[in-house]
Amino acid sequence: MTPETLIPGQTSLAQLERIYRAEAASTLHSSARAGVEAAAAQIAAAAAGTIAVYGVNTGFGKLASLKIAPQDTATLQKNLILSHCCGVGEAMPRAVARLMMTLKLLSLGRGASGVRWDIIALIEAMLARGVTPVIPAQGSVGASGDLAPLAHMTAAMIGHGEADYNGEILPGAEALAKAGLTPVTLGPKEGLALINGTQFSTAYALAGLFDGWRCAQSALVTSALSTDAIMGSTAPLHPEIHALRGHAGQIEAAAFMRSLLDGSVIRESHRIGDTRVQDPYCIRCQPQVTGAAMDVLRQAARTLEIEANAATDNPLVLTSDGSIVSGGNFHAEPVGFAADMIALALSEIGAIAQRRVALMVDPVLSFDLPAFLTPKPGLNSGLMIAEVTTAALMSENKHLAHPTVTDSTPTSANQEDHVSMAAHGARRLGRMVANLQVILGVEAICAAQGVDFRAPLATSAPLQGVVKRLRQDVATLGDDRYMAPDLAAAAKLIGNGALASATALELPALA
């Protein structure tokens, strides 16, 4: 696979998603090299001088007032990395870790970090040759950089720690050697540049965003199928209703649902003589809820695209005036806010989807569908407990959606006295997405079962394609059977986008 060539400051979400999905290698555009080398020269000059420059010839954090002798600067950087390798818990998923490495390339490539091009070349080579540091996922508070996880990344680069080499976990030095690579000796500020920054938090937030957007696309599809299953009205999708409110996501969601339901014989069969006046909110207000979630996800996407292209270490090398300035770009507050926004959107998409599942299994509300969508209620329980599972996952996601960015605690002897908690705020998104995929997968199973019960009336052509794709992996439910594999298969179709793609329609785009 050809590596993705990235221009620091101009890399798009689409490029980053391709890298995430395919675990693709990435390289910086050659135009970045001059700026990187100019900043490195400035750091080298500062390291040779007598003036104290934070992170170059001083200690770190609360120890910044301590001056380090020139002959000890290499040891200083190595000690920084080893002492900061304090991560715990399960390792980052490889795709997310590789995305994090790509984000670090982009940050260093802005030419404000002061690292040599050798550092960038090693990260590029590790990505190209399948060397991925093993990075414990817990330990960052999302300020002063994602210090512990980025230290584990850097440890592998200097021949310490562990790395995944083509699926095998090896000591860092051995993994590099097998890939034909040599550990780097860190120069002045290079260790600090590598561990300062928000790339861990941002990588997890982007993964949650990309996978969450697939859920939003799928939710529009499953909700349209549910609408036909309970013989719901399409009147609430009338374009003028949504134009009068004006929210872009709502307008787009309604338009896409209209295209999904266009041509449904089921819908046409009850336009006249249907005694129901209005559907429940989970049917009637789908554009208002899922469309609003789409708007929130897009707002978060804009923040994360900026952050992915940002220089976020400290101090920053300003080659325009020759200064090296301490600031606070490592503080991940923007990422924390974005992660909380994504969490709220995921929770609400799941909340309204779960109510549609509950609607379809309830014979009082489902407009003549059999109880729990089984042809023989009583003898069979049908989808009774599948609905209970969605309720459990919906409730779990509600708890997980509680904001994390509002929490803070002082660290590092009160030097770092306000932190973003963006790291676990972003990391929880993976669990929320997994829960949501199951909720939407169960909705697809229920809705397809409901549509089957409407035969010989048929749903629309796009939704027939969805049912057909589902049936390749999940058979129509007759007598009760072992259900766990069906739920897993349906969730997978949500996660890989196969169910939404089966509509053969152009799906709403994230950006």
pLDDT tens track, the chain, 511 positions: 789 999 999 999 999 999 999 999 999 999 999 999 999 999 999 988 888 888 788 877 667 777 888 788 888 899 999 999 999 999 999 999 999 999 999 999 999 999 999 999 999 999 999 999 999 999 999 888 899 999 999 999 999 999 999 999 999 999 999 999 999 999 999 999 999 999 999 999 999 999 999 999 999 999 999 999 999 999 999 999 999 999 999 999 999 999 999 999 999 999 888 888 899 999 999 999 999 999 999 999 999 999 999 999 999 999 999 999 999 999 999 999 999 999 999 999 999 999 999 999 999 999 999 999 999 999 999 999 999 999 999 999 999 999 999 988 888 777 777 889 999 999 999 999 999 999 999 999 999 999 999 999 999 999 999 999 999 999 999 999 999 999 999 999 999 999 999 999 999 999 8
Tokens of 316: 């920053």
Distance of CA 447 to the CA centre of its chain: 27
Non-local (6+) Cβ contacts of 122 within 8 A are: 157, 181, 184
Please report which residue ranges of 179-232 form alpha helices under DSSP H.
Answer: 190-195, 199-229
Amino acid at 353: A
Please say if 165 is a catalytic residue: no
Q: What's the length of the chain?
A: 511
Half-sphere exposure of 65 (CA within 13 A, CB side): 2
Is residue 169 classed as helix, strand or coil in its secondary structure? strand
Q: Are 363 and 370 in contact (CB under 8 A)?
A: yes
* Cβ count within 10 A of residue 230: 27
pTM beyond 0.85: the answer is yes
Q: What local confidence, expressed as pLDDT, does residue 415 receive? A: 78
In three state form, how does the secondary structure of 337-357 look? HHHHHHHHHHHHHHHHHHHHH
The one catalytic residue among 54, 165, 281, 482? 54
Terminal CA-to-CA distance of the chain, rounded, Å? Answer: 25
Non-local (6+) Cβ contacts of 332 within 8 A are: 142, 143, 146, 198, 201, 202, 420, 422, 423
In three state form, how does the secondary structure of 377-409 look? ECCECCCHHHHHHHHHHHHHHHHHCCCCCCCCC
